[in-house]
Structure 1
Amino acid sequence: MTSYASYQLQDFVPFSAEVYFRLLERISESWWPLHVLSLALGIAAVVLALKNRGRLACLLIAPVWAFVALVFFRQHYAQLNWAANYIAYAFFAQAILLLLPALTGFGLSKSAAATMPGRGAVAIAMGGAIAVTGLIVQPLIALMGASGWQVQVFGIHADPTAITTLGLVLMLLRGWRVWLLAAIPLIWLLLSGLTLWVLQATAAWLLFVVLAAALSACVLLCRFLSAAGRTR
């Protein structure tokens, strides 16, 4: 009987870097120029978050997660990895979770991000930086070392969609709801980062940096809220 301890991380990535990046190219080629609309949606969501219009921001990005689940995972990534179909269900679940605050205001902050003092303001500023990273910084970094069609874009590919959503969650939600809506994006960034690390892709470091920053921001927000509760 084969021991699970004999497996290495490489055994769970059944494709090469060349095959993976060619997959990204096919997705981009197939859906251009939808990239323009999806990027505009992401920018609009960040602007709405800054204006404390959290319900509308969540409503804009919820369908994006369902689209990525169907197109990126079910139609394309599943050709390389059988686990993609199961990950797609998680992305569908995230779309539903985003509809909760969009339709009911569940967990959304009642005050503008700019009015949060101390550690709360730091965490929210980190959320804004993370959102901008997903929308702009990651595509620009990728463009420096890859062909244009390999650049991942919010709303089309999984990584920038998860990064941008993490930033928005940190900007908009409070309490334990932050962890509820951040869990799936965090898990995906860990899985994707490990995959890229196995493929020896330089993009892996960015995902790990974002993952660490998002976790730190979540902890800061929880500590700030706990401290605020004790002072009341």
Structure 2
Amino acid sequence: MRLQPIPAFDDNYIWTLEADDGSTIVVDPGDAQPVLAAAERGFVPGLVLLTHHHDDHIGGVAALRARWPALEIVAPEDPRIPVASRRVRDGDRLEHGPWRFEILAVPGHTATHIAFFGHGHLFCGDTLFSLGCGRLFEGTPSQMLASLDRLAALPAETLVCCGHEYSRSNAAFARAVDPDNAALRRREEEIIAMRSAHRPTLPVPLHSELACNPFLRVDAPAVRDAVAAHAGEGSDDRVEVFAALRRWKDGFRA
């Protein structure tokens, strides 16, 4: 299979995954033009996967369907995504041609956010980022932490395909939280080298995130101690630790 992150807007990634028979899926096409340009090399998308309703993830769908009228659009059950031809919910299994994906409900960034897991890839939209997680626009800290816990339980070799190139700024925050983490230090060096060479920092193996991402490590003593020091008080409640960590990130400036 051939995985490709297609840059869009300032920092979005539209993902394509092409099977050996040429069948191609497109994930979160907020802008049609980069997909149309990439398709000039010969692939014809047959399936679009949408993780959530934000326009920078769905805005290009109408133009893609105009180009390929038979295109199937798979989305969560959310009326804010009117372009869907098929709705899926937590626990569903999506089967289409060579494709097999498990649908995971991962609310937090939005109320109806979903992720697609299959073929060793996780398309998680704006729920999980490398060294970070999405802002809580519609969900609660408890919901987001449960969503991240669920993703963290997937096989460690899973390739995490996030919706944005936020890795470098997330690394700065992660180092502020967990400065003695050697795995994080190596990941930050890798990110800096990749971005300096204008290369994407994604996908990233889940095992790397489990070792480095503070939002997946709220039970680690180093992360808990850092959050307590920043907040001025500690907590034994992991949801409260996560919520304080997310608030810290919301106001963080490198």
TM interval, short-chain normalised: under 0.3
Structure 1 length-normalised TM: 0.23
Structure 2 length-normalised TM: 0.22
More strand, by proportion: 2
More helix, by proportion: 1
